[in-house]
Structure 1
Amino acid sequence: MTKPKGRGRIARAIAIGGGLAALGAVGALGAGATLARRAVEPDRLVDTPVEVRGLVQEGDRTLIVLRGEQADLPGQYSFVFDGPDGHARLGPVLDERSDDVIREVLSVERGDLRVGARGRITGWWFTEPEQLGLRVERISYPTELGPAEAWIIHPRRARKRRWAVHVHGRGAPPEETLRGIAPLARAGITSLVISYRNDPGAPIGAHRRYGIGIAESRDVDAAIAEALHRGAERVTLFGWSMGGTASLIAATGGAHTRVIDGLILDSPAVDWAALLRYHASLFHAPRSVANIGIRLLDTGLIRGGEPDGIDFTRLTPDAFAERLQIPVLIHASTGDTFVPCAGSERLAELRPDVVQLRLQTRGEHVRLWNVAPEPWERVTEEFARAIPHPPWRGA
């Protein structure tokens, strides 16, 4: 799709502005622009909504008292504190007292965990790939913008020429994906965990902004090329959140669709227009504000990671369903308040022949593993083992 430039963009801006009179044009346009920028700008600040209120030694275990946002999520989590310097693993909630939540400290990988420390609850469980107990190679791979860092994680018993590329979500580090390595390693699959544009250790993208999966899919293509160069014959894509969007795009229209044998997605962003409308609704903004933001990104009036604007028609369940040719496993949760599962449900409804939807009732965004690791890993491993060899590649 060719995006309008010059006069075309100005005309579209006038058309957008002209439709805002009844809403209060300046306010609605400003709100739409803010929503659009938030969708494509990498996060610059690390929020610290959780505070350590107490540390209690109880026999041979340490209990931590937390207060703040998502401190009470069900399951086991990492607590990242003191910026990126501190990391502790916390067990499930043991007790809640007023606004305080009590958990067990399972381990402290780095930093000084102390009363008064501030941080956030995350789904990441591993801080380094070596913690998986598998052989790791740290490499860089070439992308269209320059070299990007990556890890190759080798299973103990590799299945010949079977690889997977793991793609993290928007604003998250590659460590996010390490929860998905073990079930694939047990299936004998070699894993390539990548960074991509705008990550530390990777090139800066266009305008220093995200392409909400479209631009990033070309880095996924480059990672697949690296796996092929190193001996892969078939590649499974494993995407998280916006990494799921990038994986879907690479699998349905990328440069290496013929070697992609399957998709595994956790909390994927499947319908971006609906997602922006949902986030606008959280602030009680009318639907028209989200539509303005979408049009501003689509036309390139608000710059994203695609120089000519972001084509939202490519980022819908219907568009993906039309082109899917390989099996897909989706982990999604009705408890996801950041990327609602409706897009995943719609994709599964449209393509029940290839999409397996594992829908759970508890689990925040990309934190499904943390609530119930065993079933998450079991289903993932079973799916990975059962992916057939792409028929066009021969037996």
Structure 2
Amino acid sequence: MASMSERLRRRLRVTAVAVLTVTVAAAGFGAWTAADQATKVEHYGAYNTYVLAARGGLVTLTRTPDTGKPGTYWLEWTGAYSMLGDIVSQAPDRVTRRVLRGPTPSQGTPGWFGNVPPGDPKVAWGIDHTEVMVPTELGPAPAWYVPGKGSTWVVAVHGQNGRRKAELKVLPVVHGLGLPFLDISYRNDEGAPPSPDGLIHLGDSEWRDLAAAVRHAQTLGARRFILYGTSMGGQIIGQFLARSPLASLVDRVVLDAAMIDVRMTAEQAARNHHLPAFMTALAKPIIEWRTGIDTDRLSLIHHPPRIRPPLLLIHTVPDTDHPIQEPRDLITVARRLGWDARLAEFAEGQHTEAWNVDRPRYDRLINDFLTRRP
């Protein structure tokens, strides 16, 4: 008959094995979830607020972390939209904002409050456009084309799980300068062909769709290019500059809230979800196994592109998607390389909200950068 001490040791071993098994399983599940969040295709919609009252050019919305932000935003609802200005008054459960453009929704309307313009160039700004189909290696992908003067085109690239309308903030300045504007989609976008594995590749393959758009623009008369990208669109542009034979055609680049270093972005995501730092290291091989990409390569800091045109980085300091240290570190590298790069920091605003919190400064930065001599 086993002694009490032997039985105790056996129970401790069983308990230790059980704890270890649970810990490993939990870590594995967490790593898989993190990898899934980084590569999963999602298309958003529906609503995130309600109209509580509307009168005299003012609209009162249910208070959320989004509707309580200062600045200029949009409210979309079935078949309509309005541009909303700064907060006029607020309470713990509601916030009242001024209607700057568009109709005022009726009380009880469910709506989507967001930081990107609604619809297309005509809906958002009254600017005429045509929809063209870019022939990519996976099939045709839609793009909005706004005609302009000259042979230097602005090509805009949106971020992960985003939509073309996210790039329309810059259109009034571009259109005012008379530059042709091509706002592209790429694999896994709504209306565009899916990737072969149905996953996002964080710019590692999406840059090929940007290259296809540049080639298509050449057939329409473009000779030189200005690239404008937000969020993961920045990494797509970075990989285009690093890997495309067409990169030498780029005159200058604007990156707003760009994904500059995938590892730093993943570490920020872990912090956002209160996950331990080691979870990033566990998720990395899962991402690489599922997609076949080398995530270490997706760092413009450690692997600067071979073609380095003048670069304007715009970033909000509080950004909790792509931390401000990403563009700061890239600027340090750029100085060492003699790369003409500058960083404009905005003290307020979350991810891709520099325009929303200070449109006059944002527009002035874009205008000055696009018109200055290299």
TM-score with structure 2 length normalisation?
Answer: 0.88
Q: Distance in 1 between matches of 2:305 and 2:234?
A: 17
Q: Is the 8 A contact 2:129 2:145 kept in 1?
A: yes
Aligned residue type for 1:313: D
State the shift of 1:81 in Å.
Answer: 4.0
1:150 matched to which residue of 2?
143
1:340 matched to which residue of 2?
323
* CA 1:235–1:125: 2 relative to 1, 3 Å: same
* CA 1:135–1:65: 2 relative to 1, 3 Å: closer
* CA 1:118–1:255: 2 relative to 1, 3 Å: farther
State the shift of 1:380 in Å.
Answer: 0.6
State the shift of 1:105 in Å.
Answer: 2.6
Q: Distance in 1 between matches of 2:22 and 2:244?
A: 40
State the shift of 1:270 in Å.
Answer: 0.5
State the shift of 1:338 in Å.
Answer: 2.1
State the shift of 1:86 in Å.
Answer: 4.9
- Pairing partner for 2:152 from 162, 170, 174: 162
- Is it true that 1:64 corresponds to 2:64 in the alignment? no
- Pairing partner for 1:367 from 344, 353, 357: 353
Deviations 1:52-80 (A, max 9, x none): 2x22313xx23323322311111010123
Q: Distance in 1 between matches of 2:307 and 2:109?
A: 47
Higher RCO, Cα 8 Å, sep 6+ = 1
State the shift of 1:113 in Å.
Answer: 3.1
- Pairing partner for 1:239 from 205, 211, 229: 229
1:7 matched to which residue of 2?
none
2:49 matched to which residue of 1?
50
- Is it true that 1:115 corresponds to 2:113 in the alignment? no
2:298 matched to which residue of 1?
315
State the shift of 1:46 in Å.
Answer: 3.5
* CA 1:26–1:198: 2 relative to 1, 3 Å: same
State the shift of 1:21 in Å.
Answer: 5.7
Gaps of at least 5 residues in structure 2 are: 1-18
- Pairing partner for 1:265 from 233, 252, 255: 255
2:87 matched to which residue of 1?
93
Q: Distance in 2 between matches of 1:279 and 1:331?
A: 20
Which residues of 2 match residues 26-45 of structure 1 at below 5 A? 26-45=25-44
Q: Distance in 1 between matches of 2:43 and 2:153?
A: 33
Q: Give percent identity, aligned residues only.
A: 26
State the shift of 1:324 in Å.
Answer: 4.6
Q: Distance in 1 between matches of 2:279 and 2:23?
A: 11
TM-score with structure 1 length normalisation?
Answer: 0.83
* CA 1:113–1:310: 2 relative to 1, 3 Å: farther
**Could you say what secondary structure the match of 1:340 adopts?**
coil
1:291 matched to which residue of 2?
281
1:17 matched to which residue of 2?
none
**Could you say what secondary structure the match of 2:205 adopts?**
helix
**Could you say what secondary structure the match of 2:159 adopts?**
coil
**Could you say what secondary structure the match of 2:302 adopts?**
helix
- Pairing partner for 2:132 from 126, 139, 143: 139
1:129 matched to which residue of 2?
121
* CA 1:234–1:124: 2 relative to 1, 3 Å: same
Over the aligned positions, Cα root-mean-square deviation in angstroms equals 2.2
Q: Is the 8 A contact 2:85 2:99 kept in 1?
A: yes
Larger radius of gyration: 2
- Is it true that 1:78 corresponds to 2:71 in the alignment? no
State the shift of 1:174 in Å.
Answer: 0.3
Deviations 1:228-281 (A, max 9, x none): 111111111110101111011112222311111111111101111111121112
* CA 1:239–1:226: 2 relative to 1, 3 Å: same
* CA 1:255–1:81: 2 relative to 1, 3 Å: farther
Q: Is the 8 A contact 2:132 2:142 kept in 1?
A: yes
Aligned residue type for 1:128: D
User: Which has the larger displacement, 131-140 or 93-102?
Assistant: 131-140
2:99 matched to which residue of 1?
105
Q: Distance in 2 between matches of 1:229 and 1:387?
A: 27
Q: Distance in 2 between matches of 1:176 and 1:256?
A: 25
State the shift of 1:126 in Å.
Answer: 4.2
Q: Is the 8 A contact 2:47 2:113 kept in 1?
A: no
Count of aligned pairs between the two proteins? 352
- Structure 1 ranges of 4+ moved more than 4 A: 20-23
Deviations 1:361-382 (A, max 9, x none): 0111111111111111111111
* CA 1:313–1:345: 2 relative to 1, 3 Å: same
Q: Is the 8 A contact 1:248 1:320 kept in 2?
A: no
Aligned residue type for 2:153: W
